Structure 1
Amino acid sequence: MANIKSSKKDAIASEKRKRTNNKKRSRIKTYIKRVLFYISKNNFNKAMFSFIQMQSILDKYSLQGIIHKNKVARYKSNLLIKIKKINENN
């Protein structure tokens, strides 16, 4: 641990940011898993509803710098392709 007071404060703030960012990353993973769950159950309506919720969270966290915008675009694109396949099969 640092001896300088400002360094101690920085270490505490850094740990606080780390916990917050980890919670946000966990939330992203939860929403993605929810969409994948409904895709596996071939439930188009619930998958689409969950996708819209996930999309909002991903965009918000992308602007905050929690997750890169290209990664967000890749997630949305891949999941939407899978959701559209469900709709075509039904």
Structure 2
Amino acid sequence: MANTPQSKKRARQIERQTAVNKARRSRIRTFLRKVEEAIASGDAAAARDALQSAQPELMRGVTKGVVHKNTAARKISRLSAGVKALATA
């Protein structure tokens, strides 16, 4: 438990930042889910649009420190491969 004024303040700051990070992570997951659902439904145009809106959101998560850079790159790579497979099929 925090005892000093400084540690109490840090605990409050961490609590606020955790809430912000949680909201960001949730938002990113929502965008990714929209892309996955569009791929599963077979709608190439919707999947492409969803991917274009999800990419900047995921990269914003990287700059904010919510998602690791390699994780974001891997997710974008796999989703774009799925969208590309839809377009060719």
TM-score bracket, shorter-length normalisation: over 0.9
1:43 match: 43
Aligned CA-pair RMSD:
0.9
SS of residue in 1 equivalent to 2:66:
coil
Instruction: Output the TM-score relative to the length of structure 1.
Output: 0.94
Q: How many residues align?
A: 89
1:69 counterpart letter in structure 2: K
Equivalent runs, 1:7-86 vs 2, <5 Å: 7-86=7-86
Residue 13 of structure 1: CA displacement?
Answer: 0.4
Percent identical among aligned pairs is 31
CA distance in 2, matches of 1:15, 1:27: 19
Residue 11 of structure 1: CA displacement?
Answer: 0.3
Instruction: Output the TM-score relative to the length of structure 2.
Output: 0.95
CA distance in 1, matches of 2:71, 2:2: 36
CA distance in 2, matches of 1:12, 1:63: 23
Off by >3 Å, runs of 4+ in structure 1: none
Segments of structure 2 that go 5 or more residues without pairing to the other structure are none
Residue 3 of structure 1: CA displacement?
Answer: 2.2
2:44 counterpart letter in structure 1: F
